[in-house]
Structure 1
């Protein structure tokens, strides 16, 4: 799930950069890209993956 959110944030950062949209310092393309990288790192670390409980057989 976090990987999908990271991909969406990367796309938003690309659109901000490609369209040269003037945003304030909080929502600049670099900051949005860093949020995406943070979520991608959490996904790779296993934070956003689903855990299945072990069933007794």
Structure 2
């Protein structure tokens, strides 16, 4: 699945959560989506948790 389709599905899910559940449901959905994304990135590759949260070097 392409990144555009994943982004579209995430936007739809956040929209439904915000519409039907209010702000807190929207916020909870966004946080759990970010956690799921981090877990998926770790599972798909050899990425360590520290590499996800480490800031990039800007030169």
The verdict on a shared fold, with TM-score over 0.5 as the criterion, is no
Query: Which has the larger Rg?
Result: 1
The structure with the largest helix share of the pair is 2
Question: Which of the five TM-score ranges fits, normalised by the shorter chain?
Answer: 0.3 to 0.5
Which structure has more relative contact order (CA 8 Å, sep 6+)? It is 1
What's the TM-score, normalizing by structure 2?
0.38
